[in-house]
């Protein structure tokens, strides 16, 4: 076996030996046409040189994407906080485009494309444009490209830069982070512990994957979003408030160790306390202000109430209004709009 050498060694050797691109090599291997282990091995120095050449090509593209983003924001100007973050999730990328462009016209600053249910447990990344999903749309490089182009078009129409978000956490965290960087995504859900706590993924794999994924995202200028809101949909938000802060500190330190500055660490939290709790709004404000005080330079992401939404539309609007008030009063940066 050759797994101890990692994938890059065999890929670079195959590219050099066959004259094919990495994509062509991958397709040949998947199609049973090429066996990487049967190719002669070049000297280590030649393989390393080819691997570095391929990596530099990808990094050059990622850095150019970052410059393009900065140029567009410089041209249009930055939007005032909080940025309004809306979700599309039809399963069909072309329908998502229609919804996303209309959301931008109505004032959205950030568009998040929810992944198809359980994609976080797939150990491969689907390919091509997709029109069928379950509770969301598959995260693929082509879907990233389609939505990025659509948001650039509507952004030019509106004179605003519209940010694009997708999800990296799960079994293919580094792979999806790389694809997002190559297609100029602006934010990615990239929690260091989500796979361990909510998807039963091997802890060592998760911690290694999140480190490499965040290295890529740091270089790309991608703002990560962490998943502390998940704790509060499965536990009481008042009793478990301390777990959010603990997770935020852990996520911050892992991000710093990946070379990520505070300005890209979008730590998460949520407005999820039981509305029947006496002084609940004050507790929510205190909790949100605690996050802002502990992480003064982080673009905090604040999630709307979901757990205690009962279907009472009047109560729901009041809860969303209190969430909006808390978000603005405590200086949150990324505001997921509550919609009934």
d(CA 262, CA 181): 19
| Cα three-residue angle 287-293-294, rounded to 5 degrees | 90
Tokens of 232: 């509060």
Rounded CA-CA distance 305/273 in Å is 8
Of residues 89, 95, 111, 15, the one with CA closest to residue 55: 15
CA–CA separation, 83 and 300 (whole Å): 10
Could you say which of 167, 186, 191, 301 is catalytic? 301
332 and 84 in contact (C-beta within 8 Å)? no
User: Is 301 assigned a catalytic role?
Assistant: yes
Cβ distance 109 to 84 under 8 Å?
Answer: yes
Which of the following is catalytic: 9, 161, 167, 194?
Answer: 194
Secondary structure tally for the chain: helices H, strands E: 12, 9
Residue 194 designated active-site: yes
What are the start-end ranges of the E strands in 63-175? 83-88, 110-113, 163-167
**Distance separating alpha carbons of residues 74 and 55, to the nearest angstrom:** 29
CA distance 292 to 294: 6
Cβ-based neighbour number of residue 209 at 10 Å? 24
Contact assessment for residue 130 and residue 90, using Cβ atoms and an 8 Å cutoff: no
Distance set, CA 308 to CA 89, 196, 280, 319 (Å): 22, 26, 13, 9
Q: What span, in angstroms and rounded, lies between the C-alpha atoms of 218 and 258?
A: 7
Give the active site residue among 96, 191, 209, 229: 229
Active site residues: 194, 229, 301
């Amino acid at each position: 076996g050759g797994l101890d050498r990692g994938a890059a060694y065999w890929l670079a050797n195959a590219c050099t030996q066959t004259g094919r691109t990495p994509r062509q090599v991958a397709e040949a291997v998947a199609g049973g046409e090429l066996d990487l282990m049967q190719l002669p091995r070049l000297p280590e120095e030649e393989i390393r040189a080819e691997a570095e050449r391929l990596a530099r090509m990808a990094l050059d593209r990622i850095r150019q994407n970052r410059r393009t983003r900065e140029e567009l924001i410089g041209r249009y100007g930055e939007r005032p906080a909080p940025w309004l973050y809306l979700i599309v999730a039809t399963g069909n990328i072309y329908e998502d485009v229609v919804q996303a462009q209309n959301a931008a016209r109505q004032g959205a600053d950030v568009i998040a494309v929810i992944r198809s249910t359980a994609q976080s447990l797939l150990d491969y990344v689907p390919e091509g444009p997709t029109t069928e999903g379950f509770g969301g749309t598959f995260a693929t490089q082509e879907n990233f490209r389609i939505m990025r182009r659509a948001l650039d078009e509507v952004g030019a129409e509106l004179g605003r830069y519209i940010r694009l978000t997708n999800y990296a956490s799960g079994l293919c965290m580094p792979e999806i982070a790389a694809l997002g960087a190559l297609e100029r995504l602006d934010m990615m859900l990239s929690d260091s512990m989500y796979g361990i706590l909510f998807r039963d993924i091997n802890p060592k794999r998760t911690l290694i994957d999140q480190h490499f994924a965040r290295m890529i995202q740091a270089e790309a200028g991608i703002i990560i979003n962490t998943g502390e809101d998940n704790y509060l949909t499965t536990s009481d938000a008042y009793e478990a408030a301390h777990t959010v802060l603990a997770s935020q500190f852990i996520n911050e330190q892992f991000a710093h160790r990946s070379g990520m500055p505070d300005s890209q660490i979008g730590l998460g939290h949520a407005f999820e306390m039981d509305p029947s709790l006496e002084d609940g709004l004050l507790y929510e404000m205190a909790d949100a202000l605690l996050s802002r005080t502990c992480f003064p330079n982080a673009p905090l992401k604040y999630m709307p109430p979901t757990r205690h939404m009962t279907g009472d539309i009047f109560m729901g609007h009041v809860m969303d209004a209190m969430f909006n008030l808390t978000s603005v009063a405590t200086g949150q940066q990324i505001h997921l709009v509550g919609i009934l």
